[in-house]
Structure formats: structure tokens, C-alpha cells
Amino acid sequence: MKASARAPLDSVDAAVFSAALGDRRVAGGVPGELLVQAEAQGAPANLGAMESEVRWRMRGLSFSTDHSFRRRSRVPAIVPPTLALPRPYRLISHSEWIGRDNPGGVFILSRPGYNRDRSQALIYVLHACQFCGSAVYLLLDRGPGGWAVSAEELVWES
């Protein structure tokens, strides 16, 4: 996809990415530096009805957040290099990590969807390893201390 076809991300998107990847349930068991794909993508379209069912099991997910997620995740975006993570990370391209021997794997993020007042976000996080992987939907709420994961739904794991 051409660079001009990518959507811009803002500081709120970066804060949601930081909260998602900073949550110990997401990347807590990954050793060393986190590798994050530089292009945010949507949830795979081939999940179909299963994808919607998984999202709707999330307690508290608002219709506007889900609608925004489905709309925004159709267009890829560049992950900003300004993530505030409690550990080192590196943004890499798809061609850099595909087939690479990396025990910690790589994280691929969707663009977040938001409710109308941007106090709730939904994001899809894929963790791809050489011999394993998983994908989760994370629901985040913005409180006085910033964004925090409030619910998660496992989509698949191997």
C-alpha cells in the first residue's frame, strides 16, 4: 500500500498502543526488547462472524467503540515511534520480521476504535512467534491515570 494511503495516528492512538503493550498480560512473558510491526493493521477479515462474536463477549464494549474499530481498522497506519513503554522496543517492517528467528516474536497492532468521547478504546493485538502465537481484543478505558486495559478476549492461541 502506498504511504499516502495510510491513515495518520495521533497522540491518543500512541497512548492506547503504549497501555496495551505495557500491560503485563500482553507482553509480560516476552523476554528482552519488544518488536512491534511499524504498520498498524486491522483484525483479519477472514475471522468473519467469529470476530464479531468474540468482540461482543466483552463486557462494557459500547456500540460506538465497536463501530469505530471496524471503520478505522480498514485503513493501515504507521505506528508512532513515541510509545511510552516500560521497556525497550523497536519498530520493524513486515519484511524484517517474517521468517526471522526471534524467540520473543513480534506484536502487530490494529488501529484503535473509540467511543464518541474517546474514553473507551478497542484494539486487536496479534503476537506472532516462530512456533507459537496469539491474538486478543483489548478493551481499554481512560481514567485519571491514563489508559488501562479493562477487558480482554482471546481470539486464538497456538
Per residue in 37-53, pLDDT (tens digit) is 888 876 666 556 566 67
Nearest to 23 by CA among 109, 98, 94, 130: 109
Residues of the chain with pLDDT under 50: 1-4
Half-sphere exposure of 31 (CA within 13 A, CB side): 2
Q: In the prediction, which pLDDT does 39 show? A: 87
Q: In the prediction, which pLDDT does 1 show? A: 41
Is 135:126 a contact under the CB 8 Å cutoff?
yes
Q: What is the Cα–Cα distance from 85 to 149, expressed in whole angstroms? A: 14
C-alpha cell at 109: 497492532
* Residue 81: alpha-carbon gap to chain centroid: 15
Q: In the prediction, which pLDDT does 41 show? A: 77
